[in-house]
Structure formats: structure tokens, C-alpha cells
Chain A
Amino acid sequence: MSVARFWRNQIARYNLVGTKCKKCGEHFYPPRNMCPACRRDGQIEDFKFNGHGEVLTFTIIHTAAEGFENQTPYVLGIIKLQEGPSLTCQIICEPESVYIGMKVKPVFRKLGQDGERGMIYYGNKFIPEQC
């Protein structure tokens, strides 16, 4: 990922900021500028998610991409936030302890880095609510 591309979405990623359509109440993460239901009548505003949610589904990664080798095995899941939207994210827990419906909350972690010389990327991952 380029430094510029990461930085553009940084506040949304750091603080789970998405958007909400005031007209129909739908929440969006990642943020959307247009409500697909209300179209031109929609009223979009920023919305900060509290980050509490639950695991919709998950997979356990044994063979990781470059830079993530020392984290395997790790859990990648789809988290449904309380307000509705879902996102794909790493869940930090022992792989044998994760289950569908597990309640999770966000935690600030390193997402990756460009080798030894490049940028370090930060953002939220999820941990079990009972942790």
C-alpha cells in the first residue's frame, strides 16, 4: 500500500470513523459519501463507531503474506459493528478460542510495516470483549 493511500484513510482507520445517513439511519464503514437507498435525498454525516461488535465469520491464517510470518497462526474475521456495517479485520485471540457470535471490541495495533526502512502502519484490530 502506498504511504499516500494509507494516510488518506488514516483518521477513519485510527478512530473507526464512518458515515451515517440522517434520512434513513443507515451507517457506513468504510465511509460513503452517498446513501445507496436515499440517493440524492440522503443526508450524509460523519459518524464515530464505538467499535463494539460481533464475529460474523472467521478464518485462521496459517500461511501469511510477507511481513506477517511471525504472527501465524492468526485469526481474520468479518466483524459486524453494533450499528450495522461489517468489516474485515484481524481478531487477536488464540485461534482455538474464536467463534461465530463472539463479542469483540477494538484495540489499537500495528497493522504492518514497509520492511525495515519504510512506514509503520497503525489502526484498529479486535479483541474479545471478555479479555
Chain B
Amino acid sequence: MSVGIVSYGAYVPKYRIKIDEIARLWGDDADILKSGLMVYEKSVPDVDEDTATIAVEAARAAISRSDIDAKRIGAVYTGSESHPYAVKPTSTIVAEASGATPVLTAADFEFACKAGTAAVQACMGLVSSGMIDLGLAIGADVAQGAPGDALEYTAAAGGVAYIIGNKESELVAVIEDTFSFTTDTPDFWRREGMPYPEHGGRFTGEPGYFKHVTNAAKGLMEKMHTKPSDYDFAVFHQPNGKFPSRVASMLGFSKEQINPGLVVPRLGNTYSGSCMIGIAATLDQAKPGDRIFATAFGSGAGGDAFSIRVTDRIEELRDRAPKVEELLANPVYVDYSRYARHKGKIKVA
């Protein structure tokens, strides 16, 4: 029995700030940062946008792309590290504003940047077992970096929703298999009540990102007896442009395979949205029969790898909701003072 993606929808706020503008304020060298991070600008939420509003917009886009009856959704799971409430689920807001309530189960997921793919895996299980008809799995974040911290150059806002089902005729893509690799690793964290996360330094990727992404990716390919050349596209978690490019070459994937899904240079790191928006951007341009390899990473730490095969139905649904490329086009650029106001970094008396 197949399980896979019935529909998907992405959302990116329309505002951007350029790396040059942030570097100007802190007296950093913008050119060194841009070539080091391979990020040139990042999305900024509006003053009245948060993880819940972004998740709702993504969910609505996914529902309208497929025209499914929202009442068929039996589970709503929202993955984020910036849920607006410490206690009170984002997923109930999403479920109600998507028209899916009240007969469903819902919960919020947390696993740094891979909470959204963990939600996809949970929905795959519930759908495959027959417990639910359709599951809605979301990754959304309004990522925070402390002013002046290295993370401030990449912490962005965006989200993406996937409707998971198991009726072959409804799937735009079959999820052929998934594999996870998880250890307890203190590479990045945020304590309860603290506004900004802490991390082990700007370029500490080895024990976190690279170890978990490569082990999850290799594990899945060994399990499925596939190799990088079996795939048309590949997407890896994108905290910056450097990490996914490097991990791709470590694993034997080419630039051509990762480029369609590499949205971070113009979007920044959307945390729980990162890898999943990359998959959406790839689905936006994939052909029926194409195969996509994807691996999400979450600090703390773990990797979730997926093998995805695109079906004929993609052609029918693709144009019915905004593509990631359209969401990235024609942004409104803001300066640092407006950015700070949007992010609530300064309080207006």
C-alpha cells in the first residue's frame, strides 16, 4: 500500500532584509558573511504574523491546491520551535482556521528544525494503519536570532504544509520510504522562557548537522538499495547555503540535483520549514516519475531521510496554489529599524 503527499502548500512573508543591511548595523564584513553562509537575504514576518498565521496560510494553500474536503483531515500536527504559546497548541488554531475541526486529533511537534518532518512521519503511520483518512503535517517558524548573534543573519520566517494520504489516485508524490537517525547531542537549544536560542558556535556542524544528515541519508539508501544517481533531485536541511552543498557532495549528490530545492540564499533559514520548503520548491518543477531524495536535520539532534517519487497528478495540481518561486519573487525590502519593529526586537513606548 502506498503512502504519500496528496497536496502541499507553502507560505513566505513578503518582506526581506539583505545581509548587507544587518552587517552594516553591526560593523561586520557583508561580503565575507555572504560567501561564508551563501545567504544573501532573508524573509521577515509582518508585525502581525507568527508561526500560527504562517501555518494557517500554508495549510489553506495545501487544501485549496487539491480541493480536498478539509473535514477528511484526521490529524493536524504542527512542527515549530517558535509556537506562539508555551502551553496551548498551534495545531488547534490551524485545524479550526482550515475548516478541519472538530473530529480530529491534533498536537504540536518540537524537534528544532526537523519537527515538521517528524510530523510527516507520524501522519504516514496514522494513514498507513487506517486510523485516519488524511493527515496535515506542517513545518513553520518565525526563527529568532539574538541581535548581533551569528544566527541573526539567517533566522527567517516561513512555513509549508503537507497533506498525507494513502489513496494512490490522490497522490502527487509517493513517499517510498523514510529513515531516521537520532542521538542526544547538545549543538543548539533554547530554555523555557528565554527569547533567543544558544548554540555551540557559528560553524560547529560536524557532530550535529553532518553526522546526522549523512547517517540518515546513507541509512535510507542502504535500506532501499538506492544510490544518489537513482534520484533526479535532492534536498537537505538548509541552515545556510554551505551546509547542504557540502553534505550533498559528501554523499555523492551533484549541484544540479540540489539547486532546484536550494531556496536558502534568497529565503534564509526557516527552521522547521527549511527542508520541507525545499521539497515543495522541487515538487513545483519536478516531472511525473522523477525521484526526490530529502533529508531534514534537527538540532538536539536527528536526521529524517525520505525517498519520494512524483506521480502524474503533479501536473494537475501544481499551478493551483502559489509556487515557492512565486513566493520568493518581488519581495519588499526593509531596513534594520523596520526589521526590528517587525520582529518585536524593540518596544515602542
Contacts and interface: CB of A to CB of B under 8 A. Distances in A.
A43 interface: no
A118 to B, nearest CB: 11
Interface stretch (B45-53, B169-177, B255-263): B45-53
Interface stretch (B93-101, B131-139, B211-219, B296-304): B93-101
A70 B348 contact: yes
Interface in B48-74: 48-50, 52-53, 56-57, 60
A110 B53 contact: yes
B158 to A, nearest CB: 15
A41 interface: no
B57 A122 contact: no
User: For chain B, which range describes its interface: under 10, 10 to 19, 20 to 34, or 35 or more residues?
Assistant: 20 to 34
A63 to B, nearest CB: 12
B93 A122 contact: yes
B96 to A, nearest CB: 6
A131 interface: yes
B95 to A, nearest CB: 10
DSSP majority for the B interface?
A: loop
A23 interface: no
Interface in A39-97: 48, 69-71, 92
Interface string A2-18: 00000000110011000
Contacts of B93: 122
A69 B124 CA distance: 44
Interface string A90-114: 0010000000000000011111000
A32 to B, nearest CB: 21
A92 B46 contact: yes
A120 interface: yes
B344 interface: yes
Contacts of A10: 96
A120 B51 CA distance: 12
B99 A110 contact: no
Nearest to B60: A108
Contacts of B47: 70-71
Contacts of A125: 48
A109 B99 contact: no
Given A70-B341, A122-B93, A131-B14, A15 B48 contact: no
Nearest to B57: A108
B53 A108 contact: yes
Contact of A110 (B48, B60, B97, B341): B48
Given A70-B341, A70-B344, A122-B53, A108 B46 contact: no
B84 interface: yes
Contact of B48 (A14, A48, A69, A109): A109
B85 interface: yes
B97 A109 contact: no
Contacts of B341: 70
Interface string A113-131: 0000000101001000001
A92 B85 CA distance: 24
Nearest to A131: B14
B84 A108 contact: no
Interface string B324-349: 00000000000000000100100110
Contacts of B53: 108-110, 122
Interface string B95-110: 0110101000000000
A107 B96 contact: no
A113 to B, nearest CB: 9
Interface in A12-30: 14-15
A15 B57 contact: no
18 contacts: A11-B96, A14-B96, A15-B99, A69-B348, A71-B47, A92-B48, A108-B60, A109-B48, A109-B49, A110-B48, A110-B50, A110-B53, A120-B85, A122-B52, A122-B53, A122-B56, A122-B93, A131-B14
Interface of A: 10-11, 14-15, 48, 69-71, 92, 107-111, 120, 122, 125, 131
Given A109-B49, A120-B85, 4 more contacts: A11-B101, A70-B47, A108-B56, A122-B97
